[in-house]
């Protein structure tokens, strides 16, 4: 089992550009959440996808959007990049259903640098 995988590992963009980050969940998982982790900070929840729909959203602007595919993989898109978008973007997956207290498994993240 490969666990949660994310691509690319690192990415450098300039202000105003658009970026797409990708995530493949752990085998058997169908729920994917995205988090932003700024340097020296804890992860902050962006949104969560389940059954190809956005189920929850954190306090992030509409520039941040996502998608989940039928195979449960997910993409995070950020438009009109700002310097402040520079961060580690983490994807987490979890088991299906409404079982309580299931662990969220995190991937290694994508380090985005905006110049």
Partner 1 sequence: QQQVKQSPQSLIVQKGGISIINCAYENTAFDYFPWYQQFPGKGPALLIAIRPDVSEKKEGRFTISFNKSAKQFSLHIMDSQPGDSATYFCAASKGGGSNYKLTFGKGTLLTVNP
Q: Closer to partner 1 by CB, 19 or 90: give it.
A: 90
* 103 belongs to the binding site for partner 1 (CB under 8 A): yes
Annotate each residue in 37-56 with x if it binds partner 1 (CB under 8 A) or - if it does not, as one string: ---xxxxxx--x-x----xx
Q: Closer to partner 1 by CB, 25 or 85: give it.
A: 25
Chain-centre distance for alpha carbon 99: 22
When binding is defined by CB under 8 A, the residue of 21, 26, 31, 78 that contacts partner 1 is 31
Least spacing, CB of residue 109 vs partner 1, in Å: 5
**What does residue 83 show for φ and ψ, rounded to 5 degrees?**
-55, -35
- Total of residues contacting partner 1 (CB under 8 A): 31
∠ Cα 8 37 92 (to 5°): 65
The burial class, CB within 10 Å (0-12 / 13-18 / 19+), for 59 is: exposed
């Amino acid at each position: 089992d490969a666990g949660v995988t994310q691509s690319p590992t690192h990415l450098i963009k300039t202000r105003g550009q658009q970026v797409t980050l990708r995530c493949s969940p752990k085998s058997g998982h169908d729920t994917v959440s995205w988090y932003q982790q700024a340097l020296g900070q804890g992860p902050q929840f962006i949104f969560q996808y389940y059954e190809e729909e956005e189920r929850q959203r954190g306090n992030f602007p509409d520039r941040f959007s996502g998608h989940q595919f039928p195979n449960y993989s997910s993409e995070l898109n950020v438009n009109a990049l700002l310097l402040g978008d520079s961060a580690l973007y983490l994807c987490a997956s979890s088991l299906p259903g409404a079982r309580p207290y299931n662990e969220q498994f995190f991937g290694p993240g994508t380090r985005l640098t905006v110049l």
